[in-house]
Amino acid sequence: MKRVPIRLHTANALKWLGSLYRNPADAIKEHVSNAIDEHLKAIAQGRAASCCTVSFDLNRSSIAIEYPYGMSGDEFRQALQKVADSAKKTLDVNQIGQLGIGIFSFLQLGRKCTFFSKKGKGFETVKVTLREGADDAEFETAAKRENLQAPGIRILIESLHFDPTKARGPLSPEKLQKVFSEKFDAYLKAGGLDIRVTIAGRRPFRIEPVKIESPRIGEAYRSWALPGRPAKKLLLELYSGRS
């Protein structure tokens, strides 16, 4: 039997990974998942912010995303060298991310993505640029004007495939409210997550949790520990079919 090694065209493979999301709203919510994962890790380490705030700023030519947890240059390198082989599965915190492909979700939105990241106080701001069709990531120290004042991350997606500010577009307020509230309802209701969206410089709005008019029942069954995984829990919400 002869074995033939499989070789991939890296840029094409990464573009395919970035297109796995059903629509742009699903792709952009991956950054909220990453923020929550970092928040949960910070809670376990006793260094978490009181609330994980994720901000989106949508303009005709760019999308900017910010949250209060950054990565060091070494952590970025490790993440890029383990695409689709996420380290999250080995952690003892209840994280929500899937495969380690979220960093390339920008490919469904635009052709260029730049990360400005500051791990903590005393760390420099790292600048990492990814481009559609490129096999490599560009690493450099951010210019003085690009430095982050506080620890966190700023993600800038440019060369967009569409105008995200269109009222009936794939990233309209109604679409983002629906996708975000359904995916992150438990975190929004618990008060540990705050998602704010600004579109074309207008007044920002907050994503609200799902509103259910029916009375809640079965409070005793709200949280279930998973067998053999005491750090992970299944959250269950039950509501009466009668109002």
Domain boundaries, the chain: 10-208
* Strands annotated E in the chain: 52-58, 62-67, 110-118, 126-131, 138-141, 152-160, 193-199, 205-206, 216-217, 223-226, 229-235, 238-239
DSSP 3-state assignment of 231? Answer: strand
The predicted structure's pLDDT at residue 6: 46
Q: Which CATH superfamily is domain 10-208 in?
A: Histidine kinase-like ATPase, C-terminal domain (3.30.565.10)
The Cα 147–Cα 124 span in angstroms is: 8
Q: How far apart are CA 161 and CA 69, in angstroms?
A: 28
Q: Say which residue the tokens 């970092």 belong to.
A: 38
Alpha carbon 185 to its chain's center: 15
**Angle 239-217-236 (CA atoms, 0-180°, nearest 5)?**
70
Residue keyed to tokens 């269109």:
166
pLDDT at res. 235: 63
Please report which helix (H) or strand (E) contains residue 189, including its range.
helix 173-190
Parallel, antiparallel, or unpaired: how do β-strands 193-199 and 52-58 relate?
parallel
Task: Please tell me the predicted confidence (pLDDT) of residue 165.
Answer: 94
pLDDT of residue 167: 87
CA–CA gap between residue 210 and residue 150 (Å, rounded): 32
Q: Rounded to whole angstroms, what are the CA distances from 87 to 75, 126, 161, 237? A: 11, 21, 31, 29
Query: Low-confidence residues of the chain, pLDDT below 50?
Result: 4, 6, 8, 86-99, 243
How confident is the model at residue 13, as a pLDDT? 58
Per-residue pLDDT, 29: 92
Give the C-alpha separation, 76 to 62, whole Å. Answer: 22
pLDDT value of position 159: 96
